[in-house]
Amino acid sequence: MPPEIVREKIAREYVERIWREIKKPPAFENSSPYDLFDFEVFGFAHKFMNPEQFERDVAALRELWQKSLRPPSYSRHVPADGFARYATSIWEVIKKQEQLNIPNQKEMLAIYRCQEIKASVLSSLGAAVAATNAMVQRGQMDETAFSQWLRDVASKALAEYLEHASRYQSEVCQRVKADLLEGIVSAVQPVVDCLLSHVRDSIANAFLDKLTSSFTAAAGDATRTLAGRPVLDAWANYNDAS
């Protein structure tokens, strides 16, 4: 049967009937399926009975697809690494005979992929955070070095996320980016706490050393008094008085 006749049969018995039965948005109530879709029918030789012609038919269809059946206006701007998920979700909607909403499908894909990318980025931070925490616990990293490390880690994580997530819907990408920043803060918080603990101990020890040195110097000087009492006596009774 010639492809033209097959095409007319498919259009008349299937496409037009389905189009009449489905619920359409108000803007498309009076439109036809041909206003929104292109329909083509291609015939192939039998693969086993005429394999050479079959290969020629496949090559011809491939060339048509590359040159004329795929105009730029057809693009849904779906990144290649998310197309399988995108197509699967649309096919599931079709099988369930639900109202197909392409924008919603694209948003769902963006949410899924951006969350997946965010999780991957946060997971990759684990080793770096653990190594830095160990260095801080050993006293091998001061505040300046930690500040630089934190900037580098955050910049690298954001760059890695945006490299992949920026290809999806901008609003979703930015929303998940904010979640990523919160995740980075949570991931490095134990290191911050450990560093602050070391800084606090360092300040306390330095103060104690300076205080002890000052009192030692005052031990032989009876003229140094505090509230009318010798300094060392006043200090010795400070805790009891307070």
Residues 6+ positions from 133 with CB-CB distance below 8 Å: 190, 191, 194
Q: Region 130-152: what's the mean pLDDT?
A: 87
Q: How many CA atoms lie within 13 A of 82 on its CB side?
A: 25
Report yes or no on 172 lying in a domain.
yes
Report yes or no on 56 lying in a domain.
yes
Kindly report, residue by residue over 56-76, the tens digit of the pLDDT: 999 998 888 777 766 666 666
Are residues 164 and 117 part of one domain? yes
Are residues 115 and 177 part of one domain? yes
Task: Quote the radius of gyration of the chain (alpha carbons, Å).
Answer: 36
Q: Determine the structural domain holding residue 46 and report its residue range.
A: 3-100
Residues 6+ positions from 116 with CB-CB distance below 8 Å: none
Are residues 202 and 135 part of one domain? yes
Quote the percentage of the chain above a pLDDT of 90. Answer: 22
Are residues 94 and 45 part of one domain? yes
Residues 6+ positions from 162 with CB-CB distance below 8 Å: 173, 177
Report yes or no on 86 lying in a domain.
yes
Report yes or no on 119 lying in a domain.
yes
Average pLDDT over the chain reads 80
pLDDT above 80 (res 79): no
Number of domains in the chain: 2
Are residues 113 and 207 part of one domain? yes
Are residues 165 and 71 part of one domain? no
Would you call 25 helix, strand, or coil by DSSP? coil
Q: What value, to the nearest 5°, has the Cα angle with vertex 181 and ends 152 and 178?
A: 140
Are residues 121 and 32 part of one domain? no
pLDDT above 80 (res 205): no
Please identify, among 40, 65, 100, the residue that sits at the C-terminal boundary of a domain. Answer: 100
Q: Return the higher-pLDDT residue of 110 and 40.
A: 110
What is the separation of C-alpha 104 from the centre of its chain, rounded to a whole number of angstroms?
19
Report yes or no on 185 lying in a domain.
yes
Query: Rounded to two decimals, what is the model's pTM?
Result: 0.52
228 dihedral zone (left: phi>0; alpha: psi -120 to 50; beta): left
